[in-house]
Chains A and B, each alone.
Chain A
C-alpha cells in the first residue's frame, strides 16, 4: 500500500513536525535559549529536544528521499511480517490514527512544557489584579483564584497526569504479564495458589484499596505510580494466564519442549510474544484508566497536592467556583476526557489491527 499523497506519508509527518518546531522556536526563542542558563534539568531537556528535533526531522526527510530513490531503482520485497500486516490495518483506521495524533501532541506538549507554558504554573503574582480572568489571548484557559495562568498549569499538569498514566500502566502490565505467564505455564498447584491470590485482590474494591494506600504513604508521583500500578495488574494477569493456557496446547510449544528449550526461554520467547497482542490492547486502554484514577484521587485531594498542578486537582480547585469561573474546571476536564477517549480509541484500533482472524480475512 504505497502512500498516494505528496511526497509520502512519513516525509509529510517529518515536514509537519519540523514546521511546528520552527514555529515554536520563533515564538519562544528567548525562552529556549534562556533555559540553558538555568539549573533546571527539565528546561534543559525541553530546549535540547526542540533544538535537536529540527535537524533530526530534516535528516529523516533526506534519508527518506534517498530510500525512496533507491526503492524506485530496485523495489524491495514487500514487508509482510505479522507486525507489518497489523500496522497496515492500524493505519487504515482513521479514528485510531486521530487518537494517536492527539496522544502524540499531548505528550510532546508535556515534554516541552517549560517552553510552551507562558507563565510559572505555581507563581502567585499580583493576585487581585489577575484572578478569575476568563479565557483571552493572554490567558487562553483563563486564570484561577490565585491569578495563575491556567494554560500553563494545564500544560504542566499534563506532565504529571500523562507520565503517571504511562508509568503506572507499565508497572501494572509488567507485573501482570509476568505473574499471569508464570501461573499459566506452570499450571497445577502453582497456578492455583497464584490465581487464588488474584481472586482475593479482585474481590477487594480497587479504588478503596488505592485510597487506603494513598493514605498510608506520602503521595508523590512515584508513590502514586506504584500504588496505581500495583492495584491494577490483576486483570492483565488473568487474561495473560488464560492466553498462555491456550497457547500451551498449541503444537509449537510442544515442539519447543521437544527441541529442548528451557522453561524460561519457552515463556520469554514463545509464550509471551504470542500472547502480547491482547496485552498491548489492554495496556493502551489502561493508560486512560490510570490517568482517570489519578485525576480521581487528586480530585479527592489525596493524589497530587497543589500547588503542583495535575488535571485532577485543577478540576477539584475549579468546582468551588464552577458558577463564577466555569473555565477553571472546564479546560482540564476537556483535556482529561479527550485523553481518556483517545487512549480507548487507540486500544480499539490495536484490537482490530492485531486480531489475527480479521488479519487473515483481509490479507491471506
Chain B
C-alpha cells in the first residue's frame, strides 16, 4: 500500500464555530494506481489533498487520523522529513494553471531549484534534466522556453510546467487538484493525456481531484465520492459509472451531459445546494436533498458498508443494485 489514510479529520476553527471540512475520511492508494476524488465544490476535496502533505494553514488543523505513506505517518514526522516528502515522494498540482510558478523567475530557474533540492543535482545536470522534463511534458522548443517567464506562457503551457515541477522530484504519488478545471476543453484533454503519459513513464500513483465526472471517467481506475467532508461511496470506476448506489452519486451522474442524450432532454440536477458546513443537517447530511431518504436518515449517520468487493457506500437505503439504473434520476 502506497498511501493509507485513516479517519482523517481536518477542522477549521473559525470565529463562527468549528468547520468540519474533512471529517473522518479513510482510503487507500496502491502503487501506480489512479484514484479520483469527486464531489461538488466545497465538500472538502482540496482539504484532503492539502492534509496529505500537512499543508493546511491556520485556522485549519488536522485534528485526528493517520496518513501513512509507505507505512510512515506524515502527521507525526519531523518538519524536515515532511519537507523532503513534499515535492519528493508526493507531488502536487494546483487548480490554477501555473499557480505554483513564481512570477519573477524563469520557469527553468524554478525547475533547477527543485531538482537541486530534491535530487541533489549540480547546476549543469539540473539544467539538462529541466530541459528534458520540459520536453517530456510537451513544451515545444524546451531549450528556449527554459528561459521564459510564467506570464509569457499560455494557461495550458503553464499547467504543463507545473506538472514538470511536480514530477521533478520523481514522486511515487502525484496529487492533482482539479488540474484541468481552469483550462478550456481541448486543452483539458491534452493535459489528461499528458498525465496518463507521465504516469506510464514514471509509474507513479495519481490522486486526481475533480468535480468533473468526464475527467474522472477518462483517467481513474477507482473513484471516491465525497460529500460534506465524508466519503459516501467508493467503487472501481466501471462499477461506479454502471451501477452507482448512493443517491448523491446517482445525482452527480444524472447531472452530467453525455453523448447520445437527446436534444432538448433537460439535464437532471440535484435539488438544493451543498449545506453550510458550519450548520450540517443532523443524521445523513444528504437527507434534505435525497430523493429516497426516510425518517431514519434524519436521525442516524450512515457509515460506509461494503456492498460488494471494493464497493463501499454510506447510505441506509443502499441496496446492491445491478446494472441498468445509471440514468435513473
Q: Spell out A's residues near B (CB within 8 Å).
A: 80-82, 188, 251-252, 254-262, 265, 269-270, 273-274, 364
Interface string of B79-95 (1 = CB under 8 A from A): 00001111110011010
Do A251 and B94 touch across chains, with their CB atoms under 8 A apart? yes
Cα A256 to Cα B92 in complex, Å, equals: 10
| A259 and B87 in contact, given A82-B149, A251-B94, A269-B113 (Cβ under 8 angstroms) | yes
| Known A251-B99, A254-B99, A260-B86; 6 more pairs at CB < 8 Å | A80-B149, A251-B100, A257-B86, A258-B94, A265-B117, A274-B102
Cα A188 to Cα B59 in complex, Å, equals: 11
Closest chain-A Cβ to B22's Cβ sits at a distance in Å of 17
Answer whether residue B133 sits at the interface, using C-beta atoms and an 8 A cutoff: no
Closest to A77 in B: B144
Contacts of B114 in A (CB 8 A): 259-261
Answer whether residue B291 sits at the interface, using C-beta atoms and an 8 A cutoff: no
Cα A82 to Cα B102 in complex, Å, equals: 12
Contacts of A269 in B (CB 8 A): 102, 105, 113
Do B104 and A258 touch across chains, with their CB atoms under 8 A apart? no
Do A258 and B86 touch across chains, with their CB atoms under 8 A apart? yes
Contacts of B99 in A (CB 8 A): 251-252, 254-255
Answer whether residue B328 sits at the interface, using C-beta atoms and an 8 A cutoff: no
Do B169 and A260 touch across chains, with their CB atoms under 8 A apart? yes
Q: Point out the residue from B87, B96, B104, B162 that lies within 8 Å of A260, measured CB to CB.
A: B87
Q: Spell out B's residues near A (CB within 8 Å).
A: 53, 55, 58, 83-88, 91-92, 94, 96, 99-106, 113-114, 117-118, 149, 151-152, 162, 165-166, 169
Q: Point out the residue from B53, B88, B100 that lies within 8 Å of A256, measured CB to CB.
A: B100
Do A257 and B149 touch across chains, with their CB atoms under 8 A apart? no
Kindly count the residue-residue contacts between A and B in the assembled complex, taking CB atoms under 8 Å apart: 79
7 contacts between A and B (CB under 8 A): A80-B152, A255-B162, A258-B87, A259-B114, A259-B166, A260-B83, A260-B84
Closest chain-B Cβ to A181's Cβ sits at a distance in Å of 15
Cα A52 to Cα B85 in complex, Å, equals: 54
Do A252 and B103 touch across chains, with their CB atoms under 8 A apart? yes
Closest to A254 in B: B55
Cα A293 to Cα B166 in complex, Å, equals: 51
Contacts of B149 in A (CB 8 A): 80-82
Closest chain-B Cβ to A253's Cβ sits at a distance in Å of 8
Contacts of B84 in A (CB 8 A): 260
Cα A224 to Cα B53 in complex, Å, equals: 50
Do B85 and A260 touch across chains, with their CB atoms under 8 A apart? yes
Contacts of B88 in A (CB 8 A): 260
Contacts of B91 in A (CB 8 A): 259
Do A82 and B104 touch across chains, with their CB atoms under 8 A apart? yes
Do A258 and B100 touch across chains, with their CB atoms under 8 A apart? yes
Contacts of A252 in B (CB 8 A): 99-103
Q: Point out the residue from B58, B102, B117, B152 that lies within 8 Å of A270, measured CB to CB.
A: B102
Closest chain-A Cβ to B113's Cβ sits at a distance in Å of 7
Cα A262 to Cα B113 in complex, Å, equals: 12
Cα A81 to Cα B99 in complex, Å, equals: 18
| A254 and B94 in contact, given A260-B88, A269-B113 (Cβ under 8 angstroms) | yes
| A82 and B165 in contact, given A257-B86, A260-B85, A260-B118 (Cβ under 8 angstroms) | no
Do B55 and A82 touch across chains, with their CB atoms under 8 A apart? no
Closest to A257 in B: B55
Closest chain-A Cβ to B96's Cβ sits at a distance in Å of 6
